[in-house]
Structure 1
Amino acid sequence: MSALAGLALDDWRARGQGFAFRGHAMRYWSAGAESAEPLLLIHGFPTASWDWHYLWQPLAQKYRLIACDMLGFGYSAKPRGHAYSLLEQADLQQALLAHLGIGGGVHVLAHDYGDSVAQELLARHHEGRLRLASCVFLNGGLFPETHRPVLVQRLLLSPLGELIGRLFNRRKLAANFSRVFGPQTQPSETELDDFWRLIAHNDGPAVMHRLIRYMPERRAQRQRWLAAMQRGAVPLRLIDGAADPISGAHMLARYRELIPAPDTVSLEGIGHYPQTEAPALVLQHYLRFRQALEERA
């Protein structure tokens, strides 16, 4: 599935480190030289930072990488009665950077749910609350009007959400992923096993109906986040798997309508998870973006 050698989930887990965020035990990963430019990787829903495992070692050769499993995801805490919020997840990213003593301009690479967290960080950049050097988005709901959630996401947001979450299992994950991955880039059974292990860890399905509240939160923040993207002071790029039914070619078209001088890449035949479906292409287009920034500097 990939020309890049990824990290096995058990190896990835063994490399994780811990820190506390508002009393919750969080897991994070870091790699690369501390003197290198920091690159913050922000994962999506319902998976975790292992999503970046194909890109991790190639990117660590050039940048100082930082990634965490956000609250409610992967190997981090999944508190039951918690009011999960994208704004709090942005607080978490800032707390992690502070924990590692990282200041100055931070580059961001984000996917899916992580796109929304990155949009919030971008808004905070313009509010003077942190400094971003660049931001690259992969497939995600950047604009609520183009987001086409799958059925299970809509059901999780309904009054039946808690029950739907508890009934979610590996078979249903496989069925949903088969619809959102590209036709020629479907996940292997081993990858599906690992994705499910991350979701199921510490009874993750029990909080999925709470995590899904990011969808109305996106609508509430739309104007603020769009304004931040339109200001143009922070270099942006969208690398989009065009075959994604959730946020593929239709979302890329909307991005080109709304964002001044849009820098976009369309990956034909690739679905919602370009970093696992076509990691070599994502790496190539990300490095070209960064090279162009360096040449302009």
Structure 2
Amino acid sequence: MASRAATRLLVAGALLASCVPHAAPIGASPAAEATATNACMDVSTTRYHTVSVDGLEVFYREAGSRDAPVVLLLHGFPASSFMYRDLITLLAGCYRVIAPDYPGFGYSAAPPAEEYTYTFDRLADVIEQFTDQLGLSAYAIYMQDFGGPVGLRLASRHPEKVTALITQNANAYAEGLPDDFWAFPKSVWRNPTAENLAQLRDQTTSPESLQWNYTHGVKDPRAINPDNWYLQQALVNRPGNKDIMLALLYDYRTNPERYPEWQAYFRKHQPPMLIVWGKNDEIFPPSGARAYLKDLPHAELHLLDTGHFALEEESVQIARHMHAFLDRIVGARISRRADSGGH
């Protein structure tokens, strides 16, 4: 594990160095080049914050220069911002990277389900208010799993704020909901008896299920950090937390209903999109990744030989794709800032 961590640090250094040539246009003044270089090389330690949103304490991780373009990382189920620990390091040299925990997840407040309405609309409201409180007027959104319906609600509400979308095993098409995995959840949505709901809750929050989420479809299960599922299990085992997870799993039925709306948003606004997808995912298979191309024919698609939590095996490759993609889309802001002397 130590050698793997060392390799990631070396690659992170290489990625940071790769930002520098693109940070200022050829022929820029020395002062402009220095400004751009400083913007890309200002690698801060990840900081851990909380902010009050919707009456709750929302935890988030942040790294990178406050002047850099923003990348907002939205996590999946049953994860938290912890899933982005490596990606944050790999991006922070060129971008301001922000990864919040939703209410009920990670280290954010988790009021009981009887006292707080856990829906995807509510999560999107919280993240929208979160971005407002942090003064984020423009940002790229990285979406994984649950991050898809949260991020796409946010993007379709405020297309003017979204500089780019990165979707990683986050679905927005019927083709991405295969019956071999989704048959039981769909049956519970149609017939939400107490018995069916309890079965859905217990199946999706069991130790076996949480570990499977991280290890199915991977090339080498021994390379997957078990901290992932042990941490998630500890958080899910908090009093009342399994009922919070169940509330959102049941509310997930509202997301396919929104697919036509999000697809219309894609067609109308043509947001720049990078699709990086674990092709061995049984939850959201690559058919869901390819479906985006129907409405976003210029999207960039990369299918990776891994599973649902693709960052566990492919964080370096995903970061490379993101740097190349984001440099084309939002990197010009760094150049413009450099040309103006930082003003």
Superposition TM-score tier, normalisation by shorter sequence: 0.7 to 0.9
Cα distance in structure 1, aligned partners of 2:78 and 2:311: 15
C-alpha deviations, 1:129-186, integer Å up to 9, x for none?
x51111111112221342234678568754332464257332332244443x424356
- 2:288 & 2:161 partners in 1: Cα distance? 27
Alignment root-mean-square deviation, CA: 2.7
Decide whether aligned partners of structure 1 residues 238 and 175 sit closer, same or farther in structure 2, where only a CA change above 3 A counts: closer
How far, CA to CA, are the matches of 1:4 and 1:253 in structure 2? 29
Give the CA deviation at 1:210.
Answer: 0.1
Distance apart, 1:57 and its partner CA: 1.4
* 1:93 to 2:93 alignment: no
| 1:247 pairs with 2:284 | yes
CA distance in 2, matches of 1:176, 1:64: 29
Q: Does 1:65 align with 2:97?
A: yes
Query: For the residues of structure 1 that align with 2:247 and 2:69, how far apart are their CA atoms?
Result: 35
Determine which of 142, 145, 150 is the counterpart of 1:112: 145
Q: Which residue of 1 aligns with 2:82?
A: 50
Alpha-carbon distance between aligned partners in 2 of 1:273 and 1:162, rounded to the nearest angstrom: 25
| Residue of structure 1 equivalent to 2:311 | 275
Q: Pick from 109, 119, 123: which aligns with 1:77?
A: 109
* Aligned with residue 143 of structure 1, among 173, 178, 183: 173
With the length of structure 1 as denominator, give the TM-score of the two structures: 0.84
Q: Which 10-residue stretch deviates more, 137-146 or 169-178?
A: 169-178
- Aligned equivalent of 1:184, options 220, 227, 230: 220
Please say which of residues 32-41 and 83-92 is displaced more in the overlay.
83-92
1:193 aligned onto 2:226: no
Letter in 2 for 1:109: Y
User: How far apart are the structure 1 equivalents of 2:140 and 2:226?
Assistant: 33
- Conserved? CA contact 1:52–1:276, under 8 Å: no
Matches within 5 A, 1:203-214: 203-214=240-251
Q: CA deviation at 1:263?
A: 1.8
Cα displacement (A) at 1:261: 2.4
Matched, 1:4 2:36: no
Larger radius of gyration: 2
Correspondence for 1:10 = none
Pairwise CA distance, 1:207: 1.4
Q: Deviations over 1:45-86 (max 9, x none)?
A: 111111101111121111111121112211112232233222
Does the CA-based 8 Å contact 1:69-1:76 persist in structure 2?
yes
The reply to whether residue 221 of structure 1 matches residue 258 of structure 2 is: yes
8 Å contact kept, 1:19–1:25: yes
The structure carrying a bigger helix percent of its residues is 2
Deviates more, 1:285-294 or 1:45-54: 285-294
Query: Structure 2: where are the runs of 5+ without partners?
Result: 10-45, 334-343
